[in-house]
Amino acid sequence: MPTINPERLLGDLHKLRSFGATGPGVVRLSLSPVDVDARRWLAGRMSEAGLDARIDGVGNVVGRSRNAGPALLIGSHTDTQPTGGWLDGALGVIYGLEIARALAEHDDTRHLALDVASWIDEEGTFCGFLGSRSFVGGEHDAAVDDALRCARNRDGQLLHDALQAAGLAGEPRARLERARYVGYLEPHIEQGGRLEAGGHALGVVTTIVGMRELRVRFTGQRNHAGTTPMAIRRDAGAALVAFIARMDDAFRALADADTVWTVGRIDLEPGSLSVVPGQADLYLQFRDSNAARLRAMETALAELVREFDARGPVGVALDTLEEAMEPVTMDAALQEHVARAAQALAPGRWVRMPSGAAHDAQVIAAQLPACMLFVPSIGGVSHDFIEDTAEEHIVLGCQVAADAAASILRHAGGSR
């Protein structure tokens, strides 16, 4: 099996961290100048590793093995949240780079074909999963084309203008060659606390959860907070608070240990201490790996909206914010390659688990068999500057991913 170089692995991770370093974290938003610099550095490192590397017309960095295949694709993303951690996405990309080098350095694996990708804009600065959606095409093409025409970041910059500034507008887009690939592997930090709490060093992902994002709007009557008796108020804010309590009860009756829901934002209009709110908006997200449970939660929410609306005195309406994301099951055969590698290197210290976060793997899984490997996040923290993973877990995870990659490729016909 290939042997990774821990110093080289960690050195590249820390070098990538330097692009946009902010305290212990990183600010490297998609297609910002520092992100473009990081992509050019990454393409250079891929070329040094013997891959044919390029940055495509949406910003994907793709390093292609010169070996004929069948090939395994390893990837993730290197863009960050506005207050991002240094390993979210970056870990999987640099794992792929290091595994490509490790395979090339050993006589029994240098003939194997491993391609590496850094997908643009997983984090949604312009359009979530832009790079992986562009790569797989098909049903995603219309949305990607629309983003290339109309998508803007939070500063109002058009995606097209950002690509133009980066010198990428008009470059060809990397597209999936289905016949080349046996599958896709995305190593990633867990971004939660389950592995750490259970004393596990590795997680083999079974499913990427589905997600719903909705808005519940409460419409009452704005009025004076001092002169309007409680009995005749149409208080949208009070209705919202009562609704959340009932919603929690309804969801808890349906949930299992992996079900999560979050009221991430509440808007009150006009938002004054002296005014009874005339309108209140509740922004809700819920996630689960079970499609039937997601549907049951949707039904329970809709029934609760109808009940509150009928009862009054505040009107209640439900709106969908984003297209529903269904759970995506990782390929069983690929999972077994990862599980065997985990058991060989960390016996009894790994676990099968769902991913509570969304990943490019769920987009690619519609076209390629896909799998994921997790390493622990210290304190379960991610999407924050203090996000971190112990070096021993970073190194272990990369070696497990390398062994799994070699096993997958040999099983696919890459042995000599």
Give me the helix-helix angle, 391-409 and 6-17, nearest 10°: 110
Question: What pTM was computed for the model?
Answer: 0.92
210-320 is a CATH 3.30.70.360 domain: yes
For the chain, domain boundaries? 6-207+327-414, 210-320
Cα-based distances in Å from 85 to 189, 197, 207, 394, 399: 11, 20, 24, 15, 22
The pair of three-digit structure tokens given for residue 55, joined into one six-digit string: 């940055």
In this structure, how many other beta carbons lie within 10 angstroms of the beta carbon of residue 295? Answer: 15
Give the model confidence (pLDDT) of 246-301 as tens digits. 999 999 999 999 999 999 999 999 999 999 999 999 999 999 999 999 999 999 99
Give the model confidence (pLDDT) of 357-368 as tens digits. 999 999 999 999
Fold of 6-207+327-414: Aminopeptidase (3.40.630)
Burial of 297 (0-12, 13-18, 19+ CB in 10 A): buried
The answer to whether 105 and 98 have CB atoms below 8 angstroms apart is no
**Residue 77 marked in a binding site:** yes
**Residue 309 marked in a binding site:** no
**Residue 111 marked in a binding site:** no
Give the model confidence (pLDDT) of 186-231 as tens digits. 999 999 999 999 999 999 999 999 999 999 999 999 999 999 999 9
H or E element that contains 300: helix 291-311
- pLDDT-derived band of residue 415, with 50, 70 and 90 as boundaries? very low
